[in-house]
């Protein structure tokens, strides 16, 4: 397997989903399982590789289609080993067809120290053709043409982790609960594999959901409206109402729990930790630190909400607008930098609301950074207000009841953004910095 490991390591470094940038992978093969192909000439093997290059080793799922001839997509060619040509599985229709059979047929695949099990909320489905989408960072998405004429979105998780992936568990619960605000989950694949230290891990490997036809990306839709000066308040209102509807259904189909003093202490500790990091990296924040800290402390002393499952990383890039369905919420994995075990924990709905408010600010901020700047501050203010009004139209007084918590979450998000921009796009620091200054100056809703 040394030859395979070397080939995959060289190829993996060029992939967008390889998470340790500018570092040469140091791979070791942990385990594999083989799926039954429809074509006897090909082999479909999913490998689990541990990368020891980062400080904390990561485990990658690498599905491979081995062909006797070099007749696949050249851009997806991993290399040649054992007289066969190895291709990245998600680019190959043979792999996608096999994956769909596993998921929606609730089938099992066993292998060397690993296995996979399919799960479904629908009847068995066959895929007629497929194409891989481009542009994703951490996963690989595929659009499959189904035999019944529908289309499905298939997501293959590249970095796999032990534990429940909320992208699957949340969508499964919402689908079973009759959600109209999310794509329906059709099937998913769980697996078991060895951990880097020789233990055992289990988690999700892939999911399949229905494809939303005619959908537009929420961020692109908002930016286009703002740059053209188009009124966005009606759509922002509907997005706010949709967010509240989503939260209500989540509270009905997934666990809720009263917030405790310990929950508050943990949240407060995280906020102050991020504030300390940001003031260290961006000295201008130091003069705002006292005001920010006062908001955090005031929120911690305010009435506590009931905690529930939330989206966890809500912004305009996580919603789609479809003429026939309205706003649709996608990608429930939560914040990528948080440990997987934390992403399914009950949280406050105001965290999602704060994330969307920051996203509207970033629409205006991005337009202000253009070579020919566009002033969309008024557009963003109107969109933010309409979004909150829409949320209140479903959730009642919730925003007013927990406005101190919302202020704290929005400040915390902006503080994090300042540190992020300082590291990656220093010219963009004024976007979140001005938001902090505005929030401290007004504190009125």
Q: For all residues of the chain together, what is the average pLDDT?
A: 94
Alpha carbons within 13 angstroms on the beta-carbon side of residue 327 total: 26
CB 184 within 8 A of CB 173: no
**Can you tell me the distance from the alpha carbon of 236 to that of 46, in angstroms, rounded to the nearest whole number?**
43
Mean pLDDT score, 282-293:
95
> Do 32 and 58 belong together in one domain?
yes
Last residue of a domain, one of 151, 186, 210: 210
Mean pLDDT score, 190-205:
96
> Do 226 and 197 belong together in one domain?
no
Between 145 and 20, whose confidence is greater?
145
> Do 146 and 220 belong together in one domain?
no
310-320 confidence digits (pLDDT tens): 999 999 999 99
Query: Domain containing 360 — which CATH number?
Result: 3.90.1200.10
3-state secondary structure of 49: strand
pLDDT above 90 for 134:
no
Q: What's the pLDDT score for residue 19? A: 86
Mean pLDDT score, 207-229:
96
Between 23 and 325, whose confidence is greater?
325
pLDDT above 50 for 99:
yes
> Do 203 and 242 belong together in one domain?
no
> Do 41 and 115 belong together in one domain?
yes
CB 230: neighbour CB atoms within 10 A?
12
How many angstroms separate the Cα of 200 from the Cα of each of 41, 109, 203, 416? 33, 17, 10, 34
pLDDT above 80 for 382:
yes
Q: Which of 33-37, 227-231, 392-396 has the lowest mean pLDDT?
A: 33-37
> Do 98 and 171 belong together in one domain?
yes
Q: What's the pLDDT score for residue 41? A: 86
Confidence of residue 442 (pLDDT cuts 50, 70, 90): confident
Mean pLDDT score, 416-423:
94
Helix axes 403-424, 349-368, angle to 10 degrees: 40
Mean pLDDT score, 320-337:
91
Q: What's the pLDDT score for residue 73? A: 86
Last residue of a domain, one of 185, 210, 235: 210
Q: What's the pLDDT score for residue 1? A: 59
> Do 269 and 344 belong together in one domain?
yes
> Do 36 and 80 belong together in one domain?
yes
Last residue of a domain, one of 210, 230, 261: 210
163: closest CA among 140, 195, 141?
Answer: 195
pLDDT above 80 for 444:
no
- 126: domain range? 2-210
pLDDT above 70 for 136:
no
pLDDT above 90 for 439:
yes
pTM: 0.92
DSSP string spanning 134-172?
A: ---SSEEEEEEEETTS-EEEEEEESEE-SB--HHHHHHH
CB 358 within 8 A of CB 387: no
pLDDT above 70 for 245:
yes
Total domains in the chain come to: 2
175-189 confidence digits (pLDDT tens): 999 999 999 999 999
pLDDT above 80 for 28:
yes
322: closest CA among 118, 152, 182, 140?
Answer: 182
The rounded percent of the chain whose pLDDT value lies above 70 is 98
294-303 confidence digits (pLDDT tens): 999 999 999 9
> Do 415 and 433 belong together in one domain?
yes
> Do 161 and 262 belong together in one domain?
no
pLDDT above 80 for 440:
yes
**Can you tell me the distance from the alpha carbon of 136 to that of 407, in angstroms, rounded to the nearest whole number?**
32
> Do 122 and 149 belong together in one domain?
yes
3-state secondary structure of 310: coil
> Do 194 and 287 belong together in one domain?
no
Mean pLDDT score, 212-229:
96
Which tokens belong to 56? 């904390």
């Amino acid at each position: 397997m040394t030859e395979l490991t070397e080939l995959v390591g060289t190829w993996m470094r060029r992939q967008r989903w390889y998470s340790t940038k500018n570092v040469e992978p140091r791979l070791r093969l942990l385990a594999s399982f083989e799926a039954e192909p429809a074509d006897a000439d090909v082999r479909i093997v999913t490998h689990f590789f541990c990368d020891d290059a980062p400080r904390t080793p990561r485990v990658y799922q690498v599905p491979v289609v081995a062909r006797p001839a070099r007749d696949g997509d050249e851009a997806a060619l991993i290399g040649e080993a054992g007289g066969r040509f190895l291709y990245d599985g998600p680019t190959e229709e043979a792999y996608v067809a096999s994956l769909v059979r596993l998921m929606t047929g609730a089938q099992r695949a066993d292998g060397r120290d690993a296995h996979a099990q399919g799960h479904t909320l629908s009847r068995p489905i066959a895929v007629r053709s497929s194409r891989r989408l481009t542009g994703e960072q951490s996963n690989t998405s595929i659009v499959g043409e189904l035999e019944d004429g529908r289309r499905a979105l298939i997501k293959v998780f590249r970095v796999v982790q032990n534990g429940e992936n909320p992208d699957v568990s949340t969508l499964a619960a919402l689908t079973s609960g009759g959600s109209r605000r999310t794509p329906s989950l059709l099937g998913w694949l769980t697996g078991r594999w060895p951990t880097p230290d020789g233990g055992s891990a289990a988690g999700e490997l892939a999911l399949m959901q229905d494809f939303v036809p005619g959908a537009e990306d929420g961020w692109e839709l908002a930016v286009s409206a703002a740059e053209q000066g188009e009124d966005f308040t009606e759509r922002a209102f509907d997005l706010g109402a949709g967010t509240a509807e989503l939260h209500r259904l989540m509270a009905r189909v997934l666990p809720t729990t009263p917030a405790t003093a310990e929950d508050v202490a943990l949240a407060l500790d995280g906020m102050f930790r991020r504030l300390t990091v940001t003031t260290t990296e961006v000295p201008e924040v130091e003069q705002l630190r006292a005001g920010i800290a006062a908001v955090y402390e005031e929120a911690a002393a305010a009435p506590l909400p009931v905690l529930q499952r939330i989206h966890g990383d809500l912004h305009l890039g996580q919603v789609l607008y479809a003429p026939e369905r309205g706003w649709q919420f996608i990608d429930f994995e939560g914040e990528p930098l948080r440990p997987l075990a934390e992403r399914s924990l009950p949280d406050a709905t105001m965290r999602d609301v704060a994330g969307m408010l920051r996203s509207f600010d970033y629409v205006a901020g991005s337009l202000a950074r253009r070579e020919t700047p566009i002033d969309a501050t008024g557009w963003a203010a109107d969109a933010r207000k309409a979004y909150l009004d829409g949320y209140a139209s479903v959730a009642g007084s919730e925003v007013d009841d927990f406005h101190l918590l919302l202020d704290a979450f929005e400040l915390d998000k902006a503080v994090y953004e300042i540190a992020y921009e300082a590291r990656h796009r220093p010219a963009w620091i004024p976007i979140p910095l001005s938001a902090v200054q505005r929030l401290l100056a007004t504190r009125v809703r």
